[in-house]
Chain A
Amino acid sequence: MKKLHISTSLAALMLAGALGAAYGADYSPVTDARLKNPEPQNWLMTRGNYQGWSYSALDQINSTNVKSLTPVWNIATGVDSGHEAPPIVNNGVMFVATPYSQVMAMDAATGDFLWRYKRKLPEGFAALHNTSRGVALYGDKVYLPGLDAVLVALDAKTGKVAWEAKVEDWKTGYYMTMAPLVVKGKVLVGVAGGEFGVRGFVAAFDAETGKPAWKTYTVPAPGEPGSETWEKPDTWKTGGASTWMTGNYDADTNTVYWGTGNASPWFGDQRPGDNLYTSSTVALDGDTGKMKGHFQYHQNESWDWDEMNAPMLVDFQKDGKTTKGLLKPARNGYLYWLGRNEDGTINYLNSQAYVPQNVFKSVDPKTGRPDVDVAHKPSTGKAAKFCPGLWGGKDWPYEAYNPKTGMVYIPSNENHCNTLEGKVEKRVLGQWWTGVAVPDLNFSVDTKAGFYGELQAYDVNTGKRAWRDLYANSMNWGSVLTTAGGLLFAGGTNDRMFRAYDAMTGEELWHFRTNSGVMAPPSTYSVNGVQYVAVASGWGVDPAFQQSLMAELVGWNADVPQGGSVWVFAVNK
């Protein structure tokens, strides 16, 4: 590190004394225009842009010099569990959400610690996943969805609470882990709690005051369109379709695309019908939340395959012309090409498996509806094995799209299965209610497969796989960042590595061993002309649980050390 940015470091050092005062005056409010066209030097939202690409136009760090990437600063978060939030950066200030509903603000160039918000969670509060997938920015505020289903607005300069808005009653099983999406002065949030039998929704709050603006349920009530797909009375009330990941947004048509989770309880025979809008993408009006369209990936969900990630907004070539589309590597193991229509409706175009999947016999080429092999569909009193298992071809970690390579990069897992058998259980408010107990998930792997986790690149126009990197001794839980410098950045493995790849070839160009496993999405930004790459490291939640199962199945070390920290890297000139 000896020659690292001498001039930058010196300048930063000289500024440090005045920073506290200067920062307040310098903070540039986040506007609709900036969110619509985010400047490359900042990372204003979870996936970098409204289209959900996880792409940066910065190219100072590139495939030639990435081998000289060096840590510049690092800060402990002071908490354990899964760190799943990207560093969000505006005007040289970095905001990182951590597990247990905390936010830390740092000087993005120097690492100076500015403030911390620590939410006091209610006595006896419990959540299945005590994580956070990030904050959103708007105006001079930072928005954190508290685990206890309260949306908190903080003053970006001080970390002081500006307002709090109750989204739901946590005692009934609702909690919040996603990053909000800000659309035209409203803060949009979704909810987790599918394992507790909640009814999902997306809700919007006024960014300035916290006043509720609208709320759209993702399971229709009787009489509403789609209610006919809940054939057994009252099953809709506890039907799931939680909304636990952030949506994407088409500013041109004012349409929000949000993903929904699986249905509750897990076994489809207990709630006959297609069960709209579970495991779907819903298209909502950006002003009113009114549903404009939807696409359901698989009907009568019975595999715990949430389709919670919103599709990316990508314009691809189809039959020789540019098509406004949606692209989604689904948890069910298929990669989907969908039409993004002007009126908000979604139409099916094409799909293909990106990992081996034994549930779909075929997919209807017109509607996208799969023909399901019932031998691989678990139900009440009937065990069935299905692959990929309940963590899917990929779970929540973000894929990325690079417009310069025309490729989508998918962090995926294969050679794993589950065998589930359902039971009828009485629901107790706020308690696990899936129809199967955790010790009975019967996770299994193909021990002769040679690999489990992988990173795959596909051409978005042809669907041809360009390359893949296979992990023999780890699953992959790493969200991907791609840049105009021809690079991919991702962690996700149990060996604590953070890696850079050549986006064209998949060649690993650089790696760095961090304190813990990296599950958080990386981000990149620049301050005073210097490009940085940042990522939180902190293993926990599902990857930790899955690792303990792999310890029993194939002898991996169950102990991937926990405890979070944020790493920031730059090129050693």
Chain B
Amino acid sequence: MLALAPWAVVRARADDPPDPTSIRPQIGDHLVYFDGPNDGKPIRVADLELGGPQVQAYPADPKGLLRDNSRLNLIIVARVGEDGMSEETRANAAEGVVAYSGVCTHQSCPVNMWSVERKSFVCSCHGSIYDPKNDADILFGPAPRHLAALPLKSENGLLIVAGPFNRRLGGEKG
């Protein structure tokens, strides 16, 4: 190993095309399971358990190119049903399925846990809790902002991205 930072990331030139594996989800992208028994497969509405918990996902273009080269693309998807959904969340949901950024707005940890008691998303690092039926409103903990929602539609039972994230991604940094 050389002494002078051979592992430093080579900065992309301004005229380089953006890396398709790290750009934000695009309209028409599929959502693909990040872990679990279906890892790598596109998510279908019917696969998801009604009432949660969430599954983790990354976006992929229609040809299957996965955009998992940026952790800010981590998405959580849950079939929570339309009962009690806020107007705003209903507008972004497809068949009772909601999608949000999986990156906590506190310190960027994955929002990978589920509270059975509160039927809500939980960040595993510092315990922030987000309401999936109300635009990921903060129910508890140090998170300063709602999670960004990702508008969805369904086509033949398959979940498709219908618009960009509705707010800034990631945590607060000093």
- A residues within 8 A CB of B141? 548
- Among A128, A161, A211, the residue within 8 A (CB) of B109 is A128
- CB-CB nearest in chain A for B3: A209
**Within 8 Å of chain A (Cβ to Cβ): is B21?**
no
**Within 8 Å of chain A (Cβ to Cβ): is B41?**
no
Interface mask (A55-80 → B, CB under 8 Å = 1, otherwise 0): 00000000000000000000000111
Is A126 touching B110 in the complex (CB atoms < 8 A)?
Answer: yes
CB within 8 Å: A-B pair count = 97
Residues 94-113 (chain B) with a chain A CB within 8 angstroms: 103-104, 107-110, 112-113
Is B71 touching A125 in the complex (CB atoms < 8 A)?
Answer: yes
- B residues within 8 A CB of A99? 174
Also in contact, A439 and B108, with CB within 8 A (given A100-B174, A124-B72, A163-B5): no
- A residues within 8 A CB of B38? none
Q: Give chain B's interface residue range (CB within 8 Å of chain A).
A: 35 or more
CA A126 to CA B105, docked complex, whole Å? 11
**Within 8 Å of chain B (Cβ to Cβ): is A424?**
no
CA A121 to CA B174, docked complex, whole Å? 11
- A residues within 8 A CB of B129? 439
Is B3 touching A128 in the complex (CB atoms < 8 A)?
Answer: no
Q: Which of B42-50, B120-128, B158-166 contacts A (4 or more CB under 8 A)?
A: B120-128
- CB-CB nearest in chain A for B173: A100
**Within 8 Å of chain A (Cβ to Cβ): is B87?**
no
Is A211 touching B125 in the complex (CB atoms < 8 A)?
Answer: no
**Within 8 Å of chain B (Cβ to Cβ): is A54?**
no
**Within 8 Å of chain B (Cβ to Cβ): is A545?**
yes
Q: Give chain A's interface residue range (CB within 8 Å of chain B).
A: 35 or more
**Within 8 Å of chain A (Cβ to Cβ): is B32?**
no
CA A211 to CA B115, docked complex, whole Å? 46
Q: Which of A253-261, A271-279, A425-433 contacts B (4 or more CB under 8 A)?
A: A425-433
- A residues within 8 A CB of B171? 126
Is A78 touching B174 in the complex (CB atoms < 8 A)?
Answer: yes
**Within 8 Å of chain B (Cβ to Cβ): is A185?**
no
- B residues within 8 A CB of A123? 22, 70-72, 170
5 smallest A-B Cβ distances: which pairs?
A124-B71, A79-B174, A432-B124, A126-B108, A209-B3
Report 27 cross-chain contacts, Cβ distance below 8 Å, ordered by A residue: A80-B174, A81-B107, A99-B174, A123-B22, A123-B72, A123-B170, A124-B73, A125-B108, A126-B107, A127-B107, A128-B109, A130-B174, A164-B5, A209-B3, A210-B1, A210-B3, A428-B34, A431-B110, A432-B110, A432-B112, A432-B113, A437-B113, A437-B124, A438-B127, A439-B129, A545-B126, A545-B142
